[in-house]
Amino acid sequence: MSIETNTPERLELELAIPRFILWFVMLPVLPITLIGLANLIGGEILTALVLLVGLNGAFLAGYIALSERTRLRLDAGSGLVSIIRTSRLGTRQRDYPLEALDSAELDRSHTSREDRSTSKVVLVFRNTRPATRVPLSRWGVSGDGPGQVANDINAWLRRHFGGEQTAPASQPSS
């Protein structure tokens, strides 16, 4: 996570898995490709196809899924919440009204061991019943990163909406 802009008018942040993790995902591709080519040269067509197409395809699909970056923009000027997802397959953008954004929450999922859990940040919009929940990423992570993202979003919302609600509505009389 990195905060690009944090002003009273705009909060812009980006969520992405660190690049070195993506390189570790792709690390097995070279040996599998070499073994697959050796099997192809040796006449083992079926084994070569499984290695070259099957396993390398699975690693490539994992890389594409994990390489998705999400940019969140809360813009008071335009009154929009923009979620821009960029992956190797293209860019998608969804816009929501800022006044409908209630908060950011954590969606926790527990693994088989109860002491370990992963979290992902979910935006909660109150303009529908039941409330619309939009996850910022498809993957969850452990640690305090998602909690910090949710806290940053909620703090910006409190500053933005709190400042408007507490502003004096009347002018002093003369």
pLDDT recorded at residue 6: 84
Q: Minimal CA–CA distance to 119: which of 145, 154, 156, 101?
A: 145
Residue 164 pLDDT > 50, yes or no? Answer: no
The phi-psi region of residue 4 (left if phi > 0; otherwise alpha if psi is between -120 and 50; otherwise beta) is alpha
pLDDT digits (tens, 9 = 90+) for 113-130: 555 677 888 899 888 778
Instruction: Enumerate residues 6+ apart whose C-beta is below 8 A from 92.
Output: 84, 85
End-to-end alpha carbon distance in the chain: 51
Whole-model pTM? 0.70
Q: Write the pLDDT tens digit of every residue in 27-70.
A: 888 888 888 888 888 888 888 888 888 888 888 887 887 788 89
Domain ranges of the chain: 21-66, 78-164
